[in-house]
Amino acid sequence: MRTITIKPQALTHNLNQVKKRAPTAKILAMVKANAYGHGVKAVLPALQQADGIGVATLIEALEARDLGWNKMIGLIEGVFNQAEWQQAIDNDLSCVIHHYPQLEWALDNVPAIANQARQVWLKYNTGMNRLGFNEQTILDAAQRLHDAGYRMILTTHFANADDVDHPLNTIQKQRFADMLARLRDTVSQDVQGSLCNSAGLVNFPDSHYDWVRPGIMLYGSSPIKNTSANELNLQPAMDFSAQIMALQTIKVGDAIGYGSHWIAQQETRTALVSIGYGDGYPRILDKNAYVSVIDESSKQSYPCPVRGRVAMDMIVIDISSTPTTLALNSKVILWGSVPHVDEVANHAGTIGYELLCRLSTRPVRTQTSSLE
């Protein structure tokens, strides 16, 4: 069975790592993109100790409310029109305001009570050059929001927080600190600040301010270039597995799979695994990509290289390293503890975030009990 298993205990462990690193900040746990592919429903119970959650779309926000999340929901792209702004008020969502149209919707329609929707995340562009007001416009925006009765969290986003030495980090931190000080001086002492995503909160402990916004580290992947999740004491929250569906021996000279690119240089024991890009396993992999095969009789795990092209519904692996008694239907780990999703992503020329998000609906979803 193609299976995605979520581990609530790992999520809670990772959230506690955030708390350890940022003990004075509130935590907005990012659960956008269906909790980075893990499933919002599966992760929310394990993230109860977060102070709020962050989502990208109104639909995601309403789903979280439906699931009973009563604390803050931050809508990180804000709303797209006046009607959505009303829905944000009705569902007490705390919206990002990143440009003038959103500002006007907010000023035209101020929530009647001082709830979460009266607290907005005012986005400042410090160098990412995606969303946000600039140095010339943000003071005006902040003043008008304050005058209309809004509380504010000044927020920005790092472009290179994963690379601690990148020169833009210092510039972004300085711009943010300067603007927060100006807003507190000229608009309101109560303006809060939020600068750090996962990478920022690990790399820049001096910049946690009022809210940190961890995402990928909650799911047990490393947000930092050249540093593993293990080194950061993070545990993968997902186990992605399948099964061996056939065992074969390939003769010298035989090619495997589409394109016939991989050709056996020696007689090779191979196995077919019931997984493919139709499940979300990446199609493009370098020659060092591998999976772990579990031999049930010995409970041993064996690394097995992927051979030939990944197809929609199956892959071929080299099982030379496994016992010759390896059984049909043996469990195959695509990612989990070993290999870690960050490692698979490295072989796929991308980052773990993408692999997690681009899982399809085909694998069966389950979770470990809280005791495991």
Contacting residues for 236 by C-beta, under 8 A, at least 6 apart: 7, 10, 219, 220, 221, 229, 335, 336, 337, 340, 341
- Nearest-angstrom CA–CA distance, 296 and 307: 23
In terms of Cα–Cα distance, which of 187, 205, 173, 96 is closest to 140?
187
Question: Applying CB under 8 A, does 75 fall inside the site for a copy of itself?
Answer: no
Judged by beta carbon, residue 71 or residue 362, the one nearer a copy of itself is 362
Instruction: Say whether 332 sits in a helix, a strand or coil.
Output: strand
Q: Which of 65, 71, 130, 287 binds a copy of itself (CB under 8 A)?
A: 130
Question: Applying CB under 8 A, does 106 fall inside the site for a copy of itself?
Answer: no
Q: Are 173 and 198 in contact (CB under 8 A)?
A: no
For β-strands 238-250 and 3-6, DSSP reports them as antiparallel
Question: Applying CB under 8 A, does 74 fall inside the site for a copy of itself?
Answer: no
Mark 300-339 with x for binding to a copy of itself (rule: CB under 8 A) and - for no binding.
--------x--xxxx-x-----------xx----------
Q: Which of 3, 137, 346, 350 binds a copy of itself (CB under 8 A)?
A: 350
Closest approach, Cβ 322 to a copy of itself, in A, equals: 18
Question: Applying CB under 8 A, does 164 fall inside the site for a copy of itself?
Answer: no
- Residue of 71, 100, 251, 258 marked active site: 258
Instruction: Say whether 47 sits in a helix, a strand or coil.
Output: helix
Closest approach, Cβ 49 to a copy of itself, in A, equals: 24
Q: Is 184 annotated as a binding residue?
A: no
- Nearest-angstrom CA–CA distance, 74 and 51: 11
Q: Are 97 and 78 in contact (CB under 8 A)?
A: yes
Question: Applying CB under 8 A, does 173 fall inside the site for a copy of itself?
Answer: no
Query: Binders of a copy of itself: how many residues, by CB under 8 A?
Result: 69
Q: Which stretch binds a copy of itself (CB under 8 A): 18-26, 182-190, 256-264, 285-293?
A: 256-264
Q: Are 122 and 155 in contact (CB under 8 A)?
A: yes
Write out the DSSP string of 176-223: HHHHHHHHHHHT-TT-EEE---HHHHHH-GGG--SEE---GGGGT---
Q: What tokens does 357 get?
A: 């998000």
Mark 193-222 with x for binding to a copy of itself (rule: CB under 8 A) and - for no binding.
------------------------------
Judged by beta carbon, residue 48 or residue 212, the one nearer a copy of itself is 212
* Residue whose entry in the numeric block shows the structure tokens 């009705």: 90
> How distant, in Å, are the alpha carbons of 109, 264, 278 from that of 261?
61, 10, 21
Question: Applying CB under 8 A, does 104 fall inside the site for a copy of itself?
Answer: no
In terms of Cα–Cα distance, which of 229, 213, 217, 309 is closest to 261?
309
Q: Which stretch binds a copy of itself (CB under 8 A): 41-49, 57-65, 145-153, 181-189?
A: 57-65
- Residue of 7, 26, 32, 123 marked active site: 32
Question: Applying CB under 8 A, does 259 fall inside the site for a copy of itself?
Answer: yes
Judged by beta carbon, residue 210 or residue 313, the one nearer a copy of itself is 313
**Whether residue 258 lies in the annotated active site:** yes
Question: Applying CB under 8 A, does 59 fall inside the site for a copy of itself?
Answer: yes
Contacting residues for 118 by C-beta, under 8 A, at least 6 apart: 110, 111, 149, 150, 151
Binding site for a copy of itself (CB under 8 A): 1-2, 32-34, 36-37, 56-57, 59-60, 76-77, 80-81, 98-99, 101, 127-131, 159-160, 166, 168, 243, 245-248, 250, 254-260, 272, 274, 276-280, 283-284, 308, 311-314, 316, 328-329, 349-351, 353-354, 357-362, 364
Residues tagged in the binding site annotation: 130, 312
Q: Which residues are annotated as a binding site for substrate?
A: 130, 312
Give the residue numbers marked as catalytic.
32, 258
